[in-house]
Structure 1
Amino acid sequence: MFTGIIENLGIVTNLQTELDNLHVTIKSDLASELKIDQSVAHNGVCLTVVNINNDTYTVTAIKETLDKTNLKSLKVNDLVNLERAMKLGDRLDGHIVQGHVDQTAKCINIEETSGSWLFTFSYNQDLNNITIEKGSITVNGTSLTVVNSKRNEFSVAIIPYTYQHTNFKHFKIGDEINLEFDVLGKYVKRLLEFNIN
């Protein structure tokens, strides 16, 4: 379980394919605090630490994960948003994030405003995920508030702190990003589907 509050930016230092799996090695200030078998969110994707070596650690993404996320597009030197799992008793500063990406989206507009940035994303509506105005959304692991909610697109406003401390500052129009929709909204939607059928 995560909160969507990014702790650190990691740098991809190595990518190794083994059968359908991708082993990703990350350089991060967090590496010395991690342990084998610990969960860490990478651009919002919960992955298990399988190796630690000084200031780097390795996680493995399986085919299911690669098919549904932007991790398949990682390159050496890419920056990745990192968050360790919540500790019980800590404040929940973002929202409840599972680290299970629902689908990817494309960045379709970036607008610099007076003191902030407005990013707009479009996603495949056929997967029946929804956003609501002022609801929660996780973009590349970052807990954000939805603005301009539409059937298959939405925007988020990014403050300077978030811009500087996440990989948002490297987004370009056309980039693929990971989305995790609000878990409470997903349960309500599923319950309504059962009631209709």
Structure 2
Amino acid sequence: MFTGIIEELGTVTNLEPDGDNLHISIKSNITPELKIDQSISHNGVCLTVVAIDGHEYTVTAIRETLERSCLGKLKKGDAVNLERAMKLGDRLDGHIVQGHVDQTAVCTDIKNVNGSWLFTFTYDRSNNNITIEKGSITIDGTSLTVVDSGTDTFSVAIIPYTYEHTNFRNYKTGTEVNLEFDVVGKYVARLLELQK
């Protein structure tokens, strides 16, 4: 379980395909504090630490994860949003984030709004995922509030701190991102679907 508050940007140092799996090595300042079997959110995807070597650690993404997220498009040198699992009893500064990516979206517009940024994303509506204005959304592991919500599009406002300390500073029109929709909203949508 995560909060969507990014701790740090890690750097991809190695990508090693292994059958349908992908071993991803990351260099990070938090690596010395990690241990084998620990869960870490990588651009919103919960992955387990399988090896540690100095300031680098390795996680493995399986085929289902690679198909549902955009982790398979990572390249050496790419920055990755990182968050360790929350501790029971800590403040929940973002919202409840599971680290289970629902689907991807594409950045379709970026506007500089006098000191902040408005990012717009479009996603495939056929998966029945929805956003609501002022609801929560997780983009590449970052907990955000939806500003505008359409049937297959939404916008989020990004403050300078978030822009500087996450992957948002690297996004351009056409960038693909991982989405995790609000878990409470997903349960409500599923219950309504079952009542039909």
TM-score range for the pair, normalised by the shorter chain length: over 0.9
Match of 2:75 in 1: 75
Task: After TM superposition, give the deviation of residue 187 of structure 1 in Å.
Answer: 0.3
Amino acid at match of 2:190: R
Letter paired with 1:30: I
Residue in 1 that maps onto 2:143: 143
**Matches of 2:158 and 2:131, distance apart in 1:** 17
Q: Could you tell me which residue of structure 1 aligns to residue 152 of structure 2?
A: 152
Structure 1 position 195, deviation (Å): 1.2
Q: State the distance in 1 between where 2:122 and 2:162 align.
A: 21
Match of 2:126 in 1: 126
Match of 1:191 in 2: 191
How far has the Cα of 1:119 moved from its partner? Answer: 0.4
Q: Any idea what the Cα deviations from partners look like across 1:136-156, whole Å, max 9, x if unmatched?
A: 000000000001100000000
**Counterpart code for 1:107:** C
CA positional deviation for 1:120: 0.3
Deviations 1:26-57 (CA, angstroms, capped at 9, x unpaired): 00001000000000000000000000011000
Aligned to 2:117: 117
**Paired residues, what number?**
196
Q: Which amino acid aligns with 2:36?
A: I
Runs of 5+ unmatched residues, structure 1: none
| CA offset digits 1:84-142 (Å, max 9, x no partner) | 00100000000000000000000000101111000000000011000000000000000
**1:133-183 alpha-carbon deviations (Å, 9 max, x no partner):** 000000000000001100000000000000000010000110110000000
Coordinate RMSD, CA, aligned:
0.4
Distance 1:95 1:148 in 2: 18
Amino acid at match of 1:121: F
Q: Secondary structure at the match of 1:164?
A: helix
- Map Cα deviations across residues 43-92 of structure 1 (whole Å, 9 max, x no partner): 00000000001100000000000000010100000000000001000000
Query: 1:140 & 1:105 partners in 2: Cα distance?
Result: 10
Mapped partners of 1:118, 1:28: distance in 2: 29
The equivalent residue for 2:62 is 62
TM-score by length of 2: 0.99
* Structure 1 SS opposite 2:195: helix
TM-score, normalised via structure 1 length: 0.99
1:41 corresponds to? 41
Identity rate, percent: 69
